[in-house]
Amino acid sequence: MSERAITAVAAGTLYLVATPIGNLEDITGRALRVLREVDVIACEDTRHTRTLLNHFGITTKTLSYHEHNERERAAELAARIAAGASVAVVSDAGTPGINDPGFRLVRACVERGLNVVPVPGATAFVSALVASGLPTDEFYFAGFLPPRQHARRLRLAALGDLNATLVFYEAPHRIADALSDAREILGEREAAVARELTKLHEEIARGRLTDLVARFSGQTPARGEMVLVIDRRRIAVAEAGEQPTPDIAALVAAFESEGLDPRAALKRAARELGLNRDEAYRRLVAARAQAKRE
Protein backbone atom coordinates (compact mmCIF):
# COMPACT_ATOMS: atom_id res chain seq x y z
CA MET A 1 0.00 0.00 0.00
CA SER A 2 1.41 3.38 -0.97
CA GLU A 3 2.04 6.16 1.51
CA ARG A 4 -0.56 8.35 -0.19
CA ALA A 5 -3.22 5.67 0.23
CA ILE A 6 -2.93 5.74 4.02
CA THR A 7 -2.27 9.44 4.54
CA ALA A 8 -4.89 11.16 6.70
CA VAL A 9 -7.00 13.98 5.32
CA ALA A 10 -4.90 17.12 5.03
CA ALA A 11 -5.80 20.59 6.26
CA GLY A 12 -6.42 23.25 3.64
CA THR A 13 -7.50 20.73 1.00
CA LEU A 14 -10.50 20.23 -1.27
CA TYR A 15 -11.52 16.61 -1.90
CA LEU A 16 -13.71 15.72 -4.88
CA VAL A 17 -15.41 12.53 -3.69
CA ALA A 18 -17.27 10.25 -6.09
CA THR A 19 -20.32 8.52 -4.61
CA PRO A 20 -22.39 5.58 -5.93
CA ILE A 21 -24.70 6.13 -8.89
CA GLY A 22 -27.10 3.58 -7.44
CA ASN A 23 -25.56 0.58 -5.70
CA LEU A 24 -24.16 1.57 -2.30
CA GLU A 25 -21.54 -1.17 -2.54
CA ASP A 26 -19.78 0.96 -5.16
CA ILE A 27 -18.51 3.43 -2.55
CA THR A 28 -14.75 3.08 -2.02
CA GLY A 29 -13.02 2.64 1.30
CA ARG A 30 -11.02 5.78 0.63
CA ALA A 31 -14.17 7.81 -0.06
CA LEU A 32 -15.68 6.68 3.25
CA ARG A 33 -12.51 7.58 5.15
CA VAL A 34 -12.32 11.03 3.58
CA LEU A 35 -16.00 11.73 4.27
CA ARG A 36 -15.47 10.79 7.92
CA GLU A 37 -12.33 12.87 8.38
CA VAL A 38 -13.01 16.17 6.58
CA ASP A 39 -14.31 19.19 8.46
CA VAL A 40 -17.36 19.63 6.23
CA ILE A 41 -19.08 17.97 3.26
CA ALA A 42 -20.53 20.23 0.56
CA CYS A 43 -23.56 18.47 -0.98
CA GLU A 44 -25.72 19.02 -4.02
CA ASP A 45 -28.68 17.95 -1.85
CA THR A 46 -27.97 17.61 1.88
CA ARG A 47 -31.00 15.38 2.46
CA HIS A 48 -29.96 12.99 -0.29
CA THR A 49 -26.37 12.82 0.92
CA ARG A 50 -27.42 12.42 4.54
CA THR A 51 -29.16 9.17 3.57
CA LEU A 52 -25.83 7.89 2.23
CA LEU A 53 -23.90 9.13 5.25
CA ASN A 54 -26.36 7.63 7.71
CA HIS A 55 -26.07 4.27 5.98
CA PHE A 56 -22.35 4.24 6.72
CA GLY A 57 -22.57 5.89 10.15
CA ILE A 58 -20.86 9.13 9.07
CA THR A 59 -21.72 12.19 11.15
CA THR A 60 -19.63 14.88 9.43
CA LYS A 61 -21.29 18.29 9.12
CA THR A 62 -22.89 19.03 5.73
CA LEU A 63 -23.87 22.17 3.86
CA SER A 64 -25.57 22.81 0.53
CA TYR A 65 -23.60 23.42 -2.66
CA HIS A 66 -25.80 23.33 -5.75
CA GLU A 67 -26.30 25.11 -9.08
CA HIS A 68 -28.35 27.92 -7.54
CA ASN A 69 -25.81 28.94 -4.89
CA GLU A 70 -22.62 27.65 -6.50
CA ARG A 71 -21.02 30.99 -7.28
CA GLU A 72 -21.41 32.42 -3.76
CA ARG A 73 -20.73 29.13 -1.98
CA ALA A 74 -17.57 28.47 -4.00
CA ALA A 75 -15.99 31.70 -2.77
CA GLU A 76 -17.06 30.95 0.81
CA LEU A 77 -15.69 27.38 0.75
CA ALA A 78 -12.44 28.42 -0.93
CA ALA A 79 -11.90 30.97 1.82
CA ARG A 80 -12.49 28.28 4.47
CA ILE A 81 -10.04 25.94 2.76
CA ALA A 82 -7.47 28.76 2.53
CA ALA A 83 -7.89 29.21 6.29
CA GLY A 84 -7.01 25.54 6.85
CA ALA A 85 -10.30 23.64 6.60
CA SER A 86 -10.64 20.32 4.79
CA VAL A 87 -13.71 20.14 2.56
CA ALA A 88 -15.23 17.28 0.58
CA VAL A 89 -17.58 17.93 -2.33
CA VAL A 90 -20.13 15.32 -3.41
CA SER A 91 -22.95 15.31 -5.93
CA ASP A 92 -26.20 13.40 -5.58
CA ALA A 93 -24.60 10.52 -7.49
CA GLY A 94 -21.35 9.91 -9.30
CA THR A 95 -18.39 12.23 -9.66
CA PRO A 96 -18.82 15.91 -8.71
CA GLY A 97 -18.10 18.29 -11.56
CA ILE A 98 -19.42 15.91 -14.24
CA ASN A 99 -22.68 17.68 -15.16
CA ASP A 100 -22.97 18.54 -11.48
CA PRO A 101 -21.70 21.40 -9.30
CA GLY A 102 -17.98 21.41 -8.56
CA PHE A 103 -16.18 23.27 -11.32
CA ARG A 104 -16.45 26.74 -9.77
CA LEU A 105 -15.07 25.58 -6.44
CA VAL A 106 -12.20 23.71 -8.06
CA ARG A 107 -11.41 26.80 -10.11
CA ALA A 108 -11.50 29.03 -7.04
CA CYS A 109 -9.12 26.72 -5.19
CA VAL A 110 -6.75 26.43 -8.16
CA GLU A 111 -6.62 30.22 -8.50
CA ARG A 112 -5.66 30.47 -4.83
CA GLY A 113 -3.00 27.78 -5.12
CA LEU A 114 -4.90 25.42 -2.81
CA ASN A 115 -4.62 21.64 -2.87
CA VAL A 116 -7.33 19.79 -4.86
CA VAL A 117 -7.50 16.00 -4.51
CA PRO A 118 -9.77 13.72 -6.58
CA VAL A 119 -11.19 10.65 -4.85
CA PRO A 120 -12.31 8.60 -7.87
CA GLY A 121 -15.27 6.30 -8.14
CA ALA A 122 -18.47 5.80 -10.12
CA THR A 123 -19.34 7.87 -13.19
CA ALA A 124 -22.49 6.96 -15.13
CA PHE A 125 -21.27 7.80 -18.63
CA VAL A 126 -18.11 5.71 -18.26
CA SER A 127 -20.09 2.71 -17.03
CA ALA A 128 -22.50 3.03 -19.95
CA LEU A 129 -19.73 3.45 -22.50
CA VAL A 130 -17.71 0.40 -21.47
CA ALA A 131 -20.83 -1.80 -21.37
CA SER A 132 -22.32 -0.51 -24.65
CA GLY A 133 -20.30 -2.74 -26.94
CA LEU A 134 -19.28 0.31 -28.98
CA PRO A 135 -15.68 1.49 -29.51
CA THR A 136 -14.04 3.03 -26.45
CA ASP A 137 -10.65 4.00 -27.90
CA GLU A 138 -11.92 7.51 -28.63
CA PHE A 139 -15.12 9.03 -27.31
CA TYR A 140 -16.73 12.43 -26.87
CA PHE A 141 -18.84 13.10 -23.80
CA ALA A 142 -21.25 15.93 -24.60
CA GLY A 143 -23.31 16.08 -21.40
CA PHE A 144 -27.04 16.70 -21.87
CA LEU A 145 -28.44 17.38 -25.32
CA PRO A 146 -30.46 20.63 -25.57
CA PRO A 147 -34.11 20.08 -24.56
CA ARG A 148 -35.57 21.95 -27.55
CA GLN A 149 -35.65 20.11 -30.85
CA HIS A 150 -34.13 22.81 -33.03
CA ALA A 151 -31.11 23.27 -30.74
CA ARG A 152 -30.80 19.52 -30.22
CA ARG A 153 -30.64 18.86 -33.97
CA LEU A 154 -28.04 21.57 -34.49
CA ARG A 155 -25.94 20.09 -31.68
CA LEU A 156 -26.14 16.61 -33.20
CA ALA A 157 -25.23 17.97 -36.62
CA ALA A 158 -22.19 19.73 -35.15
CA LEU A 159 -20.96 16.49 -33.58
CA GLY A 160 -21.82 14.14 -36.43
CA ASP A 161 -18.43 14.13 -38.14
CA LEU A 162 -16.35 13.44 -35.03
CA ASN A 163 -14.29 10.26 -35.30
CA ALA A 164 -15.33 9.22 -31.82
CA THR A 165 -18.12 7.40 -30.04
CA LEU A 166 -20.69 9.97 -28.86
CA VAL A 167 -21.96 9.86 -25.29
CA PHE A 168 -24.83 11.93 -23.87
CA TYR A 169 -26.94 12.15 -20.75
CA GLU A 170 -30.66 12.37 -21.45
CA ALA A 171 -33.87 12.75 -19.47
CA PRO A 172 -36.31 9.83 -19.73
CA HIS A 173 -39.15 11.97 -21.09
CA ARG A 174 -36.91 13.15 -23.96
CA ILE A 175 -35.10 9.94 -24.88
CA ALA A 176 -37.49 8.96 -27.70
CA ASP A 177 -37.23 12.40 -29.32
CA ALA A 178 -33.45 12.44 -28.91
CA LEU A 179 -33.14 9.03 -30.56
CA SER A 180 -35.41 10.09 -33.41
CA ASP A 181 -33.43 13.27 -34.01
CA ALA A 182 -30.14 11.35 -33.85
CA ARG A 183 -31.44 8.88 -36.42
CA GLU A 184 -32.44 11.66 -38.81
CA ILE A 185 -29.43 13.93 -38.36
CA LEU A 186 -26.65 11.35 -37.93
CA GLY A 187 -28.10 8.61 -40.11
CA GLU A 188 -28.46 4.97 -39.11
CA ARG A 189 -25.86 3.97 -36.50
CA GLU A 190 -25.36 1.40 -33.81
CA ALA A 191 -26.24 2.78 -30.38
CA ALA A 192 -27.07 1.88 -26.80
CA VAL A 193 -29.30 3.36 -24.11
CA ALA A 194 -28.28 2.56 -20.54
CA ARG A 195 -30.73 3.30 -17.75
CA GLU A 196 -30.80 2.77 -13.99
CA LEU A 197 -27.15 1.69 -14.01
CA THR A 198 -26.13 -0.37 -10.95
CA LYS A 199 -29.72 -0.32 -9.66
CA LEU A 200 -32.29 -3.09 -9.39
CA HIS A 201 -33.85 -2.40 -12.81
CA GLU A 202 -30.62 -1.77 -14.70
CA GLU A 203 -31.02 -2.14 -18.45
CA ILE A 204 -28.76 -1.59 -21.44
CA ALA A 205 -30.71 -1.58 -24.70
CA ARG A 206 -28.48 -2.05 -27.76
CA GLY A 207 -29.23 -1.88 -31.47
CA ARG A 208 -29.53 0.46 -34.39
CA LEU A 209 -30.99 3.89 -33.79
CA THR A 210 -34.13 2.86 -35.69
CA ASP A 211 -34.59 -0.09 -33.32
CA LEU A 212 -34.11 2.07 -30.25
CA VAL A 213 -36.55 4.70 -31.52
CA ALA A 214 -39.18 1.97 -31.70
CA ARG A 215 -38.14 0.58 -28.32
CA PHE A 216 -38.53 3.91 -26.48
CA SER A 217 -41.51 5.35 -28.40
CA GLY A 218 -44.14 3.08 -26.88
CA GLN A 219 -47.12 4.00 -24.73
CA THR A 220 -45.26 3.29 -21.48
CA PRO A 221 -42.89 6.19 -20.75
CA ALA A 222 -39.25 5.38 -20.12
CA ARG A 223 -38.00 5.72 -16.56
CA GLY A 224 -34.69 6.24 -14.84
CA GLU A 225 -31.53 8.17 -15.53
CA MET A 226 -30.40 7.63 -19.13
CA VAL A 227 -27.07 7.51 -20.94
CA LEU A 228 -27.15 7.49 -24.76
CA VAL A 229 -24.11 6.06 -26.58
CA ILE A 230 -23.86 6.35 -30.39
CA ASP A 231 -21.28 4.78 -32.69
CA ARG A 232 -19.05 7.03 -34.77
CA ARG A 233 -19.75 5.00 -37.93
CA ARG A 234 -22.78 5.61 -40.11
CA ILE A 235 -24.26 2.42 -41.52
CA ALA A 236 -24.31 2.55 -45.32
CA VAL A 237 -27.66 3.33 -46.98
CA ALA A 238 -27.80 -0.01 -48.78
CA GLU A 239 -26.89 -1.93 -45.62
CA ALA A 240 -29.46 -0.07 -43.56
CA GLY A 241 -32.22 -0.46 -46.16
CA GLU A 242 -32.90 3.29 -46.25
CA GLN A 243 -34.45 5.35 -48.99
CA PRO A 244 -32.07 8.09 -50.18
CA THR A 245 -32.94 11.53 -48.85
CA PRO A 246 -33.79 14.07 -51.60
CA ASP A 247 -30.77 16.30 -52.22
CA ILE A 248 -32.21 19.40 -50.61
CA ALA A 249 -28.76 20.94 -50.12
CA ALA A 250 -28.14 20.90 -53.88
CA LEU A 251 -31.55 22.44 -54.54
CA VAL A 252 -30.95 25.25 -52.05
CA ALA A 253 -27.49 25.90 -53.50
CA ALA A 254 -28.93 26.03 -57.02
CA PHE A 255 -31.65 28.50 -56.03
CA GLU A 256 -29.11 30.67 -54.20
CA SER A 257 -26.97 30.72 -57.35
CA GLU A 258 -30.00 32.16 -59.14
CA GLY A 259 -29.94 35.11 -56.74
CA LEU A 260 -32.33 34.02 -53.99
CA ASP A 261 -31.32 34.68 -50.41
CA PRO A 262 -30.91 31.59 -48.16
CA ARG A 263 -34.37 31.91 -46.63
CA ALA A 264 -36.13 32.23 -49.99
CA ALA A 265 -34.00 29.41 -51.47
CA LEU A 266 -35.00 27.09 -48.64
CA LYS A 267 -38.66 28.02 -49.02
CA ARG A 268 -38.57 27.27 -52.73
CA ALA A 269 -36.76 23.96 -52.18
CA ALA A 270 -39.38 22.98 -49.60
CA ARG A 271 -42.12 23.69 -52.12
CA GLU A 272 -40.35 21.65 -54.80
CA LEU A 273 -40.04 18.66 -52.44
CA GLY A 274 -43.50 18.97 -50.93
CA LEU A 275 -42.16 19.69 -47.43
CA ASN A 276 -43.12 22.19 -44.78
CA ARG A 277 -40.52 24.76 -43.83
CA ASP A 278 -39.43 23.10 -40.58
CA GLU A 279 -39.00 19.69 -42.19
CA ALA A 280 -37.07 21.24 -45.08
CA TYR A 281 -34.75 22.98 -42.66
CA ARG A 282 -34.15 19.77 -40.69
CA ARG A 283 -33.27 17.90 -43.89
CA LEU A 284 -30.95 20.67 -44.98
CA VAL A 285 -29.06 20.54 -41.67
CA ALA A 286 -28.78 16.75 -41.94
CA ALA A 287 -27.63 16.88 -45.56
CA ARG A 288 -24.94 19.46 -44.84
CA ALA A 289 -23.73 17.50 -41.82
CA GLN A 290 -23.51 14.34 -43.93
CA ALA A 291 -21.60 16.20 -46.65
CA LYS A 292 -19.00 17.29 -44.09
CA ARG A 293 -18.54 13.72 -42.89
CA GLU A 294 -18.04 12.45 -46.44
pLDDT the model gives residue 225:
87
Q: Which residues of 225-262 are buried (b: 16+ CB within 10 A; e: fewer)?
A: bbbbbbbbebbeeeeeeeeeebebbebbeebbeeebee
Q: Within the chain, what is the greatest distance between any pair of CA atoms? A: 74
Q: How far is CA 1 from CA 4, 16, 37, 256, 292, in A?
A: 8, 21, 20, 69, 51
Inform me whether the pLDDT recorded for 288 exceeds 90.
Answer: no
Across the chain, mean pLDDT equals 89
pLDDT the model gives residue 254:
76
Q: Which residues of 98-136 are buried (b: 16+ CB within 10 A; e: fewer)?
A: bbbbbebbbebbeeeebeeeebebbbbbbbbbebbebbe
Cβ-Cβ contacts under 8 Å for 15 (sequence gap 6 or more): 9, 34, 38, 86, 87, 88, 89, 117, 118, 119
**% pLDDT > 90, the chain:** 68
pLDDT the model gives residue 251:
79
Q: In whole angstroms, give the CA distance from residue 198 to residue 107.
A: 31
pLDDT in tens, 236-253: 655 555 555 557 887 788
pLDDT in tens, 46-61: 999 999 999 999 999 9
CB 263: neighbour CB atoms within 10 A?
10
